Structure 1
Amino acid sequence: MSILITGSTGKIGSQVVSKLVAQGAKVRALTRSPEKAVFPAGVEAAKGDLLDTSSVRTALQGVSTLFLLVPNSPDEITQAMNTVGLAHDAGVRGIVYLSVTRSDVFADVPHFASKHAVERMMAQRGIGATVLRPSYFMQNDIGQKDPMLGGGVYVSPIGDKGVSMVDTDDIAEAAARELLRREKSATPLPTEVYELVGPDALTGDAVARIWTEALGREVKYGGNDLDAFENKIAQFAPGWMAYDMRLMMRRYQQDGAVASKDDVERLATLLGRPPRSYRDFAQATAKGWKG
């Protein structure tokens, strides 16, 4: 039996593949272009697309555990639900699903609502799953390099309520650990839900102060202008995605996404260490930029 990884060439999926291989797991990686993909030795590359049910059926043959990562797209819910259904039909015993924090609360944000619908589907089908709900990725802020170094401004409008951002390596580590736990179990395991979060309640001003310290130069928060944010995103992404991101930031500004102490401690138990702090991420990133 093997573990099937979707989203296997992305920044999280590729880390999950590497971590599983390092633990000796038998891994199959779904990719549209196996001839272009670069995987660790021993990984079986399976050609497929989550909208191509025939290719997914083939890829699921002999698979006991599935890592389901579906990127933000207009048909995300179709891709995810079809894959869950096909996995159930194929006799997959467990799924580790990458959802999003506040999926059950931010119902007016399209990709949040889609992921919550998939969570509900798995529950109704009686599929044992680990639902991982990551917060906003720290690594998203690597894209802030030019405005911070060029203008001294942190432009992501996360607001004043606080967001407990998470490091992508912590996400991949949590996913790999849960995939291995389910793969090694002699019997199907019940559903678990983890909030994947960092230890800090980060406001726009707090993030700017952290970058001021890390860069050794003043960085100010650019404010909560959602029109400017949407217009900026729309310069390099489709309009539907820019609006989706706007709605997410609106909810961050309105409600925040601050992790509870229990969420942080539970994740630390899963990881076997504390989740990474934003200050550690910023200092390491700044060092790389300077180097």
Structure 2
Amino acid sequence: MRALVRNPDTADLPSGVEVVRGDLSVPDTLNEGLEGVEAVFLVWPALPISFAPAVLGVLKQHAPRIVYLSSMGIREGLAQQADPINDFHANIERLIEQSGLAWTFLRVSGFATNTLGWAQQIRSDGVVRWPYGTAARSLIHEQDIATVAVRVLTSDRHNGAKYVLTGPQALTQVEQVHAISQAIGRPLRYEEISPEIVRQQMLTQMPPAMVDGMLNAWAGFVTEPEPVSRTVEEIMGRPAHTYSEWAIDHASAFRV
């Protein structure tokens, strides 16, 4: 297995992974790392879509297949998606489909790891201050994304598939905090706050369109929970990991 990173000296990857230098914003740097590669797992960073055609052109010279980490929020048949995040992924998918590469799209639900954003609050005083406590999400354990990706990368049986990957159940954000509480053996509390307060905090790190897209999605999950699929189980032959299992696996991040 080979990982392409901007700075191999700071890459924190398991032993046995070959680390090579490359930068998607400079497509010519990708050639050496792609020598001998048969399939590529692509996670598109916060780069303009305008870089994608050149990157895909380089990939096509070396690897015949690509597995792209996409979003389950994409709706088929739309010229433009309802929010900037899903529109971004839909445009990348479209370029991949047009590239001539064999492809598989992993359209995932919310990452369970994103709730590590609550860790500092939990360690500080045991209170998660966040909006939309009743928003229900089918968050997915990163291990499930990884195991499905490996299965798909190592077989051409999945070419042309658009797999929706989620956790096995939808939990509200209040229930997620309770699961963390159970994992660390410490009482925690969820305190509902105004979306506008969180918006101002998020604007220090992300552009307004992305922030508003995320907040609108969370608001929508209050009345319409994030869907649950069984695709992980169908591909791997075992159930997807629950959020409670994820919380146990990451309990050290939430402990004082």
For the aligned pair, the TM-score class normalised by the smaller chain equals 0.7 to 0.9
> 1:87–1:205: structure 2 CA closer, same or farther, 3 Å change rule?
same
Q: How far apart in 2 are the matches of 1:35 and 1:213?
A: 37
Moved more, 267-276 or 53-62: 53-62
Residue among 195, 203, 210 paired with 2:164: 195
Shift of 1:276: 0.9
1:215/1:169 Cα in 2 relative to 1: closer, same or farther (>3 Å)?
A: same
SS in 2 for 1:147: helix
Conserved 8 A contact 1:162-1:201: yes
Distance 1:161 1:81, change over 3 A: farther
Q: Which residue number in structure 1 is paired with residue 250 of structure 2? A: 285
1:103-122 correspondence runs (5 A): 103-104=74-75, 107-122=81-96
1:129-151 alpha-carbon deviations (Å, 9 max, x no partner): 11112221112222312323433
* 1:93-140 deviation line (CA, Å, top 9, x unaligned): 211111122133792432321111111222233432111122211122
Distance in 2, Cα, partners of 1:42 & 1:284 = 22
2-side partners of 1:227 and 1:91: how far apart? 47
Runs of at least 5 residues in structure 1 that lack an aligned partner in the other structure? 1-26
- Closer, same or farther in 2 for the Cα pair 1:224/1:136, shift >3 Å? farther
1:142-221 alignment to 2 at 5 Å? 142-157=116-131, 159-182=133-156, 190-221=159-190
Aligned length: 251
- Change over 3 Å in CA distance of 1:41–1:79 after alignment to 2: same
Paired with 1:54 and 1:148, the residues of 2 have a C-alpha distance of 44
Contact 1:136 1:163 (C-alpha < 8 Å) held by counterparts = yes
Tell me if structure 2 keeps the 8 A contact 1:76–1:114: no
Q: Which amino acid aligns with 1:285?
A: H
Tell whether 2:73 aligns with 1:102: yes
Cα deviations across residues 187-240 of structure 1 (Å, max 9, x unaligned)? xx63111122111212123223333444444433333632221222345x2x41
Post-superposition CA distance 1:231-253 (Å, at most 9, x none): 22345x2x41x651442231131
1:227 alignment counterpart: 196
Q: Are 2:38 and 2:65, in contact at CA under 8 Å, matched by a contact in 1?
A: yes
* Separation in structure 1 between the aligned mates of residue 184 and residue 19 of structure 2, nearest angstrom: 41
Give the conservation status (yes or no) of the 8 Å contact 1:96–1:129.
Answer: yes
**2: CA distance between counterparts of 1:99 and 1:199?**
19
1:59 Cα deviation after fit: 3.3
User: What residue is the counterpart of 1:253 in the other structure?
Assistant: 219
Separation (CA, whole Å) in 1 of partners of 2:13 and 2:115:
26
Kindly report the root-mean-square deviation, in angstroms, between the aligned alpha carbons of the 2 structures. 2.9
Which segments of 5 or more consecutive residues in structure 2 lack a partner in the other structure? none
Normalising by structure 2, report the TM-score. Answer: 0.82
Cα distance in structure 1, aligned partners of 2:214 and 2:126: 24
